[in-house]
Chain A
Amino acid sequence: MSFRLPNAGCLIDRSNPVSFTFNGKPVQGYKGDTLASALMAADQRMLGRSFKYHRPRGLVASGGEEPNALMNMGEGARFEPNQRATTTEVFDGLTARSQNHWPSLNFDIGALNNRLARFFPAGFYYKTFMKPQWAWKHLFEPIIRNSAGLGQVPTERDVDRYEYFYAYTDILIIGGGVAGLEAALESGRSGAKVLLLEQSPHFGGRFMVDDIEVDGRDGPAHIAHLLAEIAKLPNVTLRARTQGAGVFDHGYALGYERLTDHAPAATPRHRLWRIRAKRIITATGALERTLNFAGNDIPGVMLASAVRDYIRLYGVTSGARTVVVTNNDDAYRTALTLYAAGLEVPAIIDARPNGGGEMSDQARALGIRIETGHGVAKVIGKKHVTAVEVCLQSGTGGAVESIACDCVAISGGFSPVVHLWSHCGGKLNWDEENAMFSPDPSRPPTDQNGEGFVLAAGTASGALGTNACISTAVTAAHQAADEVGRSIKEEAAPRLTQTPDETPMAPIWTMPAQAPYKLRSKTWLDFQNDVKVSDVQLAAREGYESVEHTKRYTTLGMATDQGKLSNINGLAVLAGALDAEIPQVGTTTFRPPYTPISLGSIAGEASGPLFKPTRKTAIDGWHKSHGAIFEPVADWRRAYAYIQAGETTQDAITREILATRGAVGLFDASTLGKIIVKGPDAGKFLDLLYTNMMSTLKPGKCRYGLMCNENGFLMDDGVVARLDEDTFLCHTTTGGSDRIHAHMEEWLQTEWWDLEVFTANLTEQFTQIVVAGPNARKVLEALGGTDVSREALPFMGFIDGKLAGIQARIFRISFSGELSYEIAVPASQGLLLWNLLLQAGADFGIAPYGTEALHVMRGEKGFVVVGDESDGTVTPHDLGMSWAVSKKKEDFIGKRGMQRSFLMAAGRKQLVGLRTLSDTEKLPESAHAVEGGKAIGHVTSTYFSPTLGHPIAMALINGGQSRMGEVLDFPVGSKVHKARVVDLVFYDKEGAQQDV
């Protein structure tokens, strides 16, 4: 059983009890406990089920590397799956539930998979679910989706807040263990600005646990000393509960601060630090590796360092009788710690033939039995450990002896945490002696000046001993300070450390060395994703020689812990199976973040209404208060239709169209782009931008124009007005205003920089209102101030003047096909003019209309909308607009592109009108025309025309212009719609209505 010890536990406050629930059951812990330590104290050894085989799983580690103890945390709008019990601090009211089992943690139906394990080898998905083809979608995938998962998916919207924080520093130190703190103190003395991030709530790392003496102080006292010294330096900032999550280009780094996960409050929950540092010191320590023997995943088998952590930090033990299994000296510290806590250590199993150094002598002197040259054949126990079978390490696993125990502390050596060093391209060396990858200081990630900007310090640099750990930190601090231009003048006295002599570790990748398949198939590498030694060996046999391929085939290291404990063991097993050296096999790529960070922190404040601002016109408030329903168009919202009492949306659209065609309509066109192009070469420039000729336009006149990209595909359209000899006003589509302005600038700055032209985007400076319909002129005349007669202001002309005293520019252009004026006034006058027009138009039957009425009316006229009729693969010729493509101009953007043979070929899709055979049946949006079983085109726009009393549509059809009169099939679901190919213009083909 696991339990709380009577004393010990430097992080917990026994006078401050905390209650929380686990699987609905109340549990007591102390302030300072992690969820893991509190559950250990409550003798809750099984904390979840594994991903594939649903095997019982308990704690393995004590930090962010923990693969097993993942929880469904919180409830309702604060529910979050896959949270690590080892990094969750308990607080009153915390609720946690274990994952991946049904109906309960103790009794799980899914555990049947474990019995069938030999039918689920690596890659079984790829092998099993190949045939029949239909079964994937209808049978396999639904079952897999249902059973896959670990945690549950949240169902409510997250109610917490998140934020960004921007920080600029000379030196960023990641890791608040002794190396990080020594580096912070040393570099801080140079006067450099230093920021140190520590992921856990406390500083000190292994110094809080291991018996180490520095300058006559014990570990915790030395950490307290360092913190006190650093507190004197105003230029050094320390931040706990903040993970250095990633290192990126040019000294950019992300920090992930958890503000309220340990104490719910109204402040933001997580803060994403976006840091620019001139130098980054990674003092991220090392992680212990597991040992590979059968049953190493049974609850009660833990990392030796973690067993020690729980005793020293939280005063809890995973067992009363612990067998220690190791290939190195460090695990002896655990044996000595257990012994000192009054707990039984029936044996230390040391795989090395000659055993360990000074600490092994200490253990022996205390009477602890040590078996060298031995290993574990297998662990006995179902839901927790009851015994280990000890065997010769060199043999095949014939058991020598069974030793009863309730905990197994294992140590397979240490791997420096090289993740942050590697994120931005730092390279690694293979350290043969310690069987680990460590940073190669000669190949660091480089910054904008080509200089290394990351320095590894302490055990993260591969310096495993205490002396080396501290001295590498001091060296890194000096180098970083020098490189940011702050040299350290006074040399600090070297630290005097007292540590026992150690004997080198021995690389042991399988235990026992000749383990047969039966044992290897129960030997876990990746605990979270259920990958075993036999799976990696199978992958090697099946030809997966690359470590990246093996990873994906077996899912080794692909779980939320990203293989922090399993990767090196997996590589070693793969190397063994391929008969290659470990460095030749290489590592998989280390990618940020170091451990998962919340999506909320990545979004920061950008959620809800702040996710993306909405652009509104000056008349938006009027639209809203007059029944408008809106549609998003680019970043704008536009009135789609104005719904009156008792109307459906379709009723309103019909009414608006009939009012405009029969009397007069009013439309807010302010969102259209308005770009001024000015200069002596403005005409020349526009001739290059538009497919048609603009330089010949006379001042006071308007011309419709098309713009293509270099491929010859349509990208925008609009009306150009020539204001004077040197000045043009280019109207763009609503979505195009910023894009087209940028397009103009790009060509002006990077290709035709010899042209004397300036551009300015005035889209938001003007409100533009359309007055369209047979009574339009009467409305403007009622306002008075400018002669808008046919003679004074003919079709496709414009005039500057006053309307009801407001300075206005009045264009005679029409997108509805009616007599139409577009009136541009300063945005500040927009709402005033809108109201004046409504008043003046009241006697003439004026009605505001929305974007859908506009679309239907332009559809009746056969006018295209860029983005509806065009999709980035359509030329003006395809749209029947060859008339707008100049044959005279030597050059324009898209001219050469359009000449490419396949864009000139016959049979391309061409725009045509469609008339359904039925007068009541509208074609569905985007329906495909099918001929002889092949799609020959698609509907681009489809409406019911109230003007004509029947549906109309436009479509891009293969060779459409030569199909006039043909009836095409549009099958949708079980129904086949039939429509005749007709001319594009349904209404007033001669244009008599608009030119009056």
Chain B
Amino acid sequence: MLLLTCPYCGVSAEETEFHGGGEAHLKRHADGSSDDAFTAYLFERKNPKGIVFERWRHVYGCGKWFHAARCAVTLEVFGTYSAQTLKPPKSIITSIKAKRPDWEEIS
């Protein structure tokens, strides 16, 4: 059971206080998008064996959605940050690179 820190209210809490919401930074495809782009948006996920960017909601707390960067293999958490961003902030990338110099962000 993971420990995560909500970047909005600052509370560090057990996983049971949060609710996972799958991959972060998906680009929404709506009216006018191609079938392929729309299908990819709905169903295709990166699911890397390694560092993942995830959506979480502090559902039994402040109710806010946020993002977490963590390693799905070692369970290391590199940080949590606002959900209101299109890509991980520099500070998160820096803290990942500091520990995993070879890591490359999957586009």
Contacts and interface: CB of A to CB of B under 8 A. Distances in A.
B2 A250 contact: yes
Interface in B46-87: 55, 57, 59, 63-65, 70-71, 74-77, 83-84
Contacts of B59: 742
A250 B1 contact: yes
A896 B64 contact: no
Given A250-B75, A448-B76, A746 B21 contact: yes
A749 B33 contact: no
A988 interface: no
Given A749-B84, A895-B30, A450 B63 contact: no
A742 B64 CA distance: 10
A606 B63 CA distance: 25
Given A249-B75, A891-B31, A896-B30, A750 B3 contact: no
B75 A447 contact: yes
A746 B1 contact: no
A896 B31 contact: yes
B36 to A, nearest CB: 12
B40 interface: no
Interface string A895-933: 111011100000000000000000000000000000000
Given A250-B3, A448-B3, A750-B83, A900 B35 contact: yes
Contacts of B57: 742, 746
Contact of B42 (A425, A447, A750, A897): A897
Nearest to B4: A448
Contacts of B84: 749-750, 753
A891 B30 contact: yes
B42 A711 contact: yes
B90 interface: no
Given A248-B1, A447-B75, A749-B83, A890 B42 contact: no
A745 B28 CA distance: 17
A753 B99 CA distance: 32
A640 to B, nearest CB: 31
A448 to B, nearest CB: 4
Nearest to B67: A750
A354 interface: no
Interface in B7-28: 14-15, 21, 28
Contact of B63 (A249, A745, A901): A745
A16 interface: no
Taking residues whose C-beta sits less than 8 angstroms from the other chain, chain A's interface range is: 20 to 34
A810 to B, nearest CB: 32
Given A250-B1, A900-B35, A749 B65 contact: yes
Contacts of B75: 249-250, 425, 446-448
Contacts of B99: 450
Interface centre among B30, B31, B99 (most CB of A within 10 A): B30
A450 B76 contact: yes
Contacts of B77: 448-449
B65 A746 contact: yes
Contact of A449 (B33, B65, B76): B76
A753 B83 CA distance: 9
B97 interface: no
Contacts of B42: 710-711, 897
Contacts of B15: 249
A751 interface: yes
Contacts of A751: 28
Nearest to B66: A749
Nearest to A753: B84
Nearest to A451: B76
A745 B38 CA distance: 23
Contacts of B76: 446-450
B38 A896 contact: yes
Contacts of B64: 749
A766 interface: no
B45 interface: no
Nearest to B77: A448
Interface string A744-766: 01100111010000000000000
Given A250-B2, A448-B76, A750 B35 contact: no
Nearest to B43: A711
A750 B82 CA distance: 9
Nearest to B29: A896
Nearest to B74: A446
B31 A750 contact: no
B74 to A, nearest CB: 4
A896 B76 CA distance: 37
A450 to B, nearest CB: 4
Interface string A403-443: 00000000000000000000001000000000000000000
A849 interface: no
B31 A895 contact: yes
Contacts of B33: 896
B73 to A, nearest CB: 8
B63 to A, nearest CB: 7
Contacts of B14: 252, 276
A890 B30 CA distance: 9
B82 to A, nearest CB: 9
Contact of A750 (B32, B55, B70, B74): B55
Contact of B2 (A446, A448, A449, A711): A448
A274 B70 CA distance: 24
Contacts of B1: 248-250, 252
Nearest to A711: B42
Nearest to B3: A250
B61 to A, nearest CB: 13
Nearest to A746: B65
Contacts of A446: 74-76
Contacts of A425: 74-75
A448 B3 CA distance: 7
A891 B30 CA distance: 7
A891 B38 CA distance: 14
Contacts of B3: 249-251, 276, 448
B14 to A, nearest CB: 8
B76 to A, nearest CB: 4
A375 B14 CA distance: 55
Contact of B31 (A251, A276, A890): A890
Interface string A271-313: 0000010000000000000000000000000000000000000
Nearest to B99: A450
B17 to A, nearest CB: 13
A897 B59 CA distance: 28
Interface centre among B15, B21, B28, B84 (most CB of A within 10 A): B28
A170 to B, nearest CB: 15
Nearest to A446: B74
A109 to B, nearest CB: 48
B2 A249 contact: yes
A251 B84 CA distance: 30
Nearest to A754: B84
Contacts of B63: 745
Interface centre among A251, A745, A750, A900 (most CB of B within 10 A): A750
A371 B26 CA distance: 72
A749 B65 CA distance: 7
Contacts of A447: 75-76
Interface centre among A249, A448, A753, A890 (most CB of B within 10 A): A448
Interface in A467-483: none
A666 B64 CA distance: 39
21 contacts: A249-B75, A250-B1, A251-B3, A252-B1, A276-B14, A446-B74, A448-B70, A449-B77, A745-B65, A749-B64, A749-B84, A750-B21, A750-B65, A750-B83, A891-B30, A891-B31, A895-B30, A895-B31, A896-B31, A900-B38, A901-B35
Interface of A: 248-252, 276, 425, 446-450, 710-711, 742, 745-746, 749-751, 753, 890-891, 895-897, 899-901
Closest 6 CB pairs of A and B: A450-B76, A753-B84, A448-B77, A749-B65, A446-B74, A252-B1
Given A248-B1, A250-B1, A447-B75, 4 more contacts: A446-B74, A448-B70, A750-B55, A753-B84
